[in-house]
Amino acid sequence: MSNVVVVGAQWGDEGKGRIVDWLAEKADIVVRYNGGHNAGHTLVVDGRTYKLALLPSGVVRGKLGLIGNGVALDPEALLAEIDRMAALGIRVTPEVLQIAETATLVLPVHRALDAAQERMRAKPLGTTLRGIGPAYEDKVGRRGLRVCDLAEPDLLAEKLDVLLEHHNAWLRGTGQEPFPREPMLSGLLAMAPRILPFVGRVWEQLDHAHTSGKRVVFEGSQAVMLDIDWGSYPYVTSSSTIAAGAASGAGIAPSQLGRVLGVSKVYATRVGEGPFTSELDGALGDVLRQRGGEYGVNTGRPRRCGWLDTVQLRQSCKVAGINQLALTKLDVLDGFESVQLCVGYMLDGARIDYMPSTNAEQQRLQPVLRRYEGWAGSTRGVRSYGDLPPQAAALIEAIQNEVGVPAAMVTTGPERDDAIVLQPPFA
């Protein structure tokens, strides 16, 4: 297989960025195909930390990065990220980054709407308040602005008027101040000269890559359980996070995607609201959070922690087309007396082996847990499967058996080479 799609298999924050970075060594191109700067990917290279949100993770290795049409692009956030990378010695130029001309723009009004809508909800969704959802709403409502509009100032102003007419009607109707036009328009026109050199036909570059036999990594943001169709609705993101989204969000035939690598921690985390059946309240959850550094890359929000839910993971693999797993953060479980896996659910007194579709039923689920012996030794930095403590190896085997998908690799630390490779994703 010449291509690999990297998909978050839980609720996000699984460590996709470092997996993409590792794959990028053997790849020619890395493509972002969904989401926006509401997702953060952290890379640790030789002790230096790189925090990315919109830039494809391959830019740290100097590989060509593409931002697909399925991404919601905040131009202000992108330019700030490019500047941060420059301060760390990574120059992002049009030679190493191209943006799809049809990608949707995230505007200041979208951030204001995101905050206003969240305030008005009786039960907040826990969004990142970055404006991603409202931007996608405008895209589907056919009033959104796209990257290509930055090249036509007169048309840009006209489209902005249409967009603001719609949103300001809602703001006035809810007793809020309308959003001003001029600061937003002048800001976009000021940023356009820096953004436009990066704009190109991403679909064409991917077609050329396919015909010339180049290796491509498709980098997904968020995860299956945050997918707009397959996640724990309504506590989801606003884009398609599964492998099928890579085809529509980048402009490539589904038959050309290649392998699908699902990334999952060996435990589970979730940010924000929504059901989390295997969540650990109290001291044990706090230990996982502290040892795993479970705080949002962009927001700093503490993540909810729990045992790995193999029912959820198995279902994610099926709907997302995942045929290999990358299991991350094994070293975080070092020293635990025992480790548990959620291997089933109890719903209203009956055992089930799937995640129900309704939020009400998901909230009523009780986990069926299976205990595994922990290990006293350290797995940090281990790079050979045979060097793992027997109990750690047994846990990896149990996860593969429960989920029914083989593990391609297991990470044992934050550095890019702290990994055990079992089945290389690139054949």
Catalytic residues, by residue number, are 13, 41
Look-up of token digits 């048309």: 155
By C-alpha distance, which of 30, 33, 74 is closest to 248? 33
**If 0-12 CB within 10 Å is exposed, 13-18 middle and 19+ buried, where does residue 184 land?**
middle
User: In a 3-state reduction of DSSP, which class is residue 104?
Assistant: strand
User: How far is 12 from 124, CA to CA, in rounded Å?
Assistant: 19
Sign for the pseudo-dihedral over CA of 180, 160, 139, 13: negative
Residue with tokens 């550095």: 415
Closest by CA to 201, choosing from 193, 211, 209, is 209
DSSP 149: G
DSSP letters for 44-80: EETTEEEEESSS-GGGGGT-EEEE-TTSEE-HHHHHH
Q: Is 349 left (phi over 0), alpha (psi -120 to 50) or beta?
A: left
Helix or strand holding residue 154 (H, E) = helix 153-173
Phi, psi for residue 112 in degrees, rounded to 5: -65, -40
d(CA 156, CA 167): 16
Residue with tokens 């053997």: 26
The DSSP line for 157-221 is HHHHHHHHHHHHHHHHHTT-PPPPSHHHHHHHHHHHHHHGGGEE-HHHHHHHHHHTT--EEEE--
- Extract the tokens encoding 237: 């993101």
Cα torsion for 122, 128, 132, 137, to the nearest 10°? -10
Are 234 and 27 contacting, i.e. CB atoms less than 8 angstroms apart?
Answer: no
Q: Which residues pair with 302 in a beta bridge?
A: 295
